[in-house]
Chains A and B, each alone.
Chain A
């Protein structure tokens, strides 16, 4: 009893202390902490193996600033890393990927350790059963040869060790390795934002409005503040309401564009879209006002021409402007 207690007491103290210690460790992290953690896992592209957190090289500063911006915008760690991978390649992350050939970097050491530990355990078993005095390897090999079941058991044990080693390695890789950009637990591969935006815009131009809308929705799921997706989605919804005579879609389109304007207030393209929607709603006055505002926010030349064209139409209809 006393004997049990003398071990149980320290063990209990350790367990309680660790429980207390573990509980405090994963509270919600502040933005700077999160940004710092991400920066520490991103390689500085110009400075030899250091992380961007540890470097003052200009490229590292720019990446740090980008991480800060995205953290402030509420993007998830994985998304921020994925966006950097899209621009710089997989090598920008200091944590190697969990899958593919690169994943072996996780699997091999764990498997090797388990193999070696298994081998050592088997050696200890053998040492215990075979008297040391006659234990040359030849004797043991001979002995094993005579007893086929023993050998089979040995082979089975070895097989078990190999299986456990590989399983442990894969488990560590999955727990610790970087998942490829867009790789989800279900294994679904999702395209990166920019690709999806491009595809959506191509689809829309080709007339597949619903397909485009689906892609924009997907983008917004990952990045609810994506201005381009919000604005384009709004315009598409509005045009769909017009073409398919589904008037209930128009307010939703409008709110999507308005959300885009909340994120980036002076964006001439979003303003232009808002104007178009207002016109669809029949509020020509507000539309003209919005289009003027779009013109005043210095749109690029091509967009300016388009807006002016629409404004011209509005002008002739209304006789204003």
Chain B
């Protein structure tokens, strides 16, 4: 009967993209622009650009608790409420803990968005290129496996995405932190300008620059043409930007994808399984659970991009079992779920700055400063591998500075209405090594409300990270003291995997199918029409914020996939 053929046609696409965050959105843009009818599936609720960012339109007095969590929210979100991303203002952007069950053999803070666009709405927007210092690291150190690509392979793709995304920053010409295609850099506070001079003078080889950030310090035609405009310096990015002034799926990748007329986006669509066709030895499509009705549907395509965010991506692969893949999709190596990584952070120093009382600022810069990695570079050799960078910021203390003081009344009130002293803080982000034993797996005996096995985490920071943290803390204090800050305090607030929300690895790229899940094109070694281009693909973490690399890898893989389809190799 024709009916069946039509029915299959209507659920058959050229490409399926699982997830609509940084990577999934980029895959959708690239695939549709190359003429592919593309279905994007996201488990989250629809989040309309501009009108969906309701909290971003509110004034402080519109919030009941000025952002604090209630006891009720803490009780319903015991894990998510462990840290700042979940608060009164972002309540509807994240999943309920009860919908997001997971187990911890060791503590892991898993932040799962519940919206189309995923974490591209709430991300920190810091954007840095990896370099050959990173791509060659595993090989040189003789650990884990070698990256199957080098900087030269990805450099043109960094440039390609950066011109579209719009990255504000300053060119430094450092080989180990390659420059992006920059929009003009944001300004520094007076204290930052002076601290920069003094750090660079006192510590040759160290640099301080303004953060490289996916916010439009100026809007060029590439951005204006898709309805974006320049940053208004409200610093409400994490609530969604009605100006489209930072990179998100909604502002940056969905509009051009939609413009092709080839995009279908389905929210509330939880992908439970990749369907393997044993005869054709390729993936046939995906099985989807409607998160609201629990109805199960199937969709088919020539090529599947899995971009669900590291842990969800690998959970999907592990859950996709068949005779061919009895231990999870593409898991011939046994490495699927292993080498789970995140940056370690929450460590640094801060101090107060005497002077510049006659200086102030206008605007709220949603960006800080950055000190690129300088450890284990050139002749510097430490008792640990790899290195770290610092994010930081100067600031002038405001009306909340006197809360702990012994004061009240008219003098207290009036002094709070005048700006306080300046200060400066540095906060390190360190590379974590890929350890085979740091892993996630599925617990078949515990199911979530959609009947899917829950994820179990068993990962920890180890000796290399602990040794590095000593340097991060001491160096931060030393640099601030040398720069003339007073009352310098170093701190280590402790760091658990997951909390940096830079989770990476678990389906790593590599040269050898026996020891890795993906090849140098992010293609599953054992099933060529499935690509994984999110953090799961990372072979090592570098110490820089990873999202820009996901965009570049995704654009590169999409280009490769479409060429392979045209060559009839896929």
Question: A and B, one complex?
Answer: no
Question: Which B residues are within 8 Å of any A CB, using their own CB?
Answer: none
